[in-house]
Structure 1
Amino acid sequence: MSNPIVVLGARVIDGHPSRMLESRLRTALRVWHTSPGPIVVSGFGEAGVMAAWLVAHGVPEASVALEPQARSTNENLERSRALFPDAEHLTVVTSTFHVPRTRVWARHLGIPVRLVAAPTPETSRAKNYAREVVALPHSVARVVWRRFVRRAFGR
């Protein structure tokens, strides 16, 4: 079995992928063309739109797995891994600005990943990189806290 490609969700506007989400989908499509296999579309409220986009662009419906419940990066990874627990790794497609935070969560969760960075649309770069200034340290703090609680209380 080939390793699944996981596309992390992003905003949907009026039932269509935002420019950022479309960039992720186009990148995933390029990866899929070089290594056809299952594609997981992950995100609460986005997965169906993502699947429809991929099918409209030539991916067989049977190759697309929906993960419609995840609301965060760590949930995207956990739930996608649960769909393919025996895969050697997940090939995760996300935006360039989001790669470091995705790497933090994958490492913490023990999920082997190969990250593929989709270009971030120029119109949203400043906003998203600025957001990561807060989001990345917040994720690192959550990981540290989870490890502390696990060690201290065996949870």
Structure 2
Amino acid sequence: MLSAIRGAHRARWLRRALLVAALGAVLAGAVTGGSMVWVRSGAEGRTFTVEDVPEAPVALVLGAQVDPGGQPSAFLAARLEIARQLLTAGKVHAILVSGDHMNWGYDEPGAMRQWLVDRGVPDQKVVLDHAGFDTYDSCARARQIFGVRQATVVTQSFHLDRAVTLCRALGVEANGVGDETAKRYAPLWRRGVAREYGAADKAAWDVLSGRDPVYLGRYETGVDDALRG
């Protein structure tokens, strides 16, 4: 009889645990669903091609992996090519490259500038943000550190809605142009698409919390100087 009581107790505990897990999964799904709706609605009508994007003072190019030897990865090079085209077409008048340079030996913005300059972009038109550690930080620093009020955000298309929505939430009147050429790297592209669900939750939390970027610092005049030049 004692074993039967213990068995019934274990069964009740298991049912409760499964119920809690199910409720947790439903809640997590609802939160992620709400975050994705916020991200997509925030960028609705604000994503374009190079040809039809409205003119803006600055292109904000978000960082991505730099390969050994300082070469931008294929994803990052595709973003930089869009920025180069925007500048050549007169759709922007300066390029702010924002990426990770937390470690001395890894320099996303430096590699981004070199790629652009090697392809004919005037050095004085490229401004470096060395503390764009994630999309939120890049958008927040563009506004607070570089004084950017209006920009065209450049990244891959699966990332573009989140980037535009974050920038707009942080005070930058942003449109976006997204790269599609990197779709040929299908496994990496699919991984990026899947990652956006969790990233949308983080983006919503970052905005709600109003956190400061990892590194804020003093105002920098690089964008102002590039636009005057």
Q: TM-score range by the shorter chain?
A: 0.7 to 0.9
Whether 2:198 is the aligned partner of 1:119: answer: no
Task: Deviation per CA, 1:39-74: give whole Å up to 9, x if none.
Answer: 111111300000000000000111111111110111
Match of 1:16 in 2: 71
Match of 1:49 in 2: 111
Alpha-carbon RMSD across the aligned residues, in angstroms, is 1.9
Query: Deviation of residue 145 (structure 1)?
Result: 4.0
| Paired amino acid for 1:138 | K
Match of 1:141 in 2: 205
Question: Residues of 1 paired with 2:133 and 2:74: CA distance?
Answer: 19
Q: Which has the larger radius of gyration?
A: 2
1:6-155 pair list within 5 angstroms: 6-14=60-68, 15-35=70-90, 37-44=93-100, 45-82=107-144, 84-85=146-147, 89-119=150-180, 121-122=182-183, 123=185, 124-146=188-210
Identity of aligned residues (%): 34
Q: Does the aligned pair in 2 maintain the 1:91–1:113 contact within 8 Å?
A: yes
Question: Residues of 2 paired with 1:146 and 1:64: CA distance?
Answer: 29
Q: Does the aligned pair in 2 maintain the 1:23–1:118 contact within 8 Å?
A: yes
Tell me the TM-score normalized by structure 1: 0.85
Q: Does the aligned pair in 2 maintain the 1:89–1:111 contact within 8 Å?
A: yes
Q: Structure 1 135/120 Cα, relative in aligned 2: closer, same or farther at 3 Å?
A: farther
Q: Structure 1 146/65 Cα, relative in aligned 2: closer, same or farther at 3 Å?
A: closer
Q: Structure 1 83/34 Cα, relative in aligned 2: closer, same or farther at 3 Å?
A: farther
Task: Deviation per CA, 1:87-141: give whole Å up to 9, x if none.
Answer: 5511111110111211231222121111111225121211100111211122123
Question: Residues of 2 paired with 1:55 and 1:82: CA distance?
Answer: 26
Query: Which blocks of at least 5 consecutive residues in structure 2 are unaligned?
Result: 1-55, 101-106, 212-229
Tell me the TM-score normalized by structure 2: 0.59
Aligned residues: 145
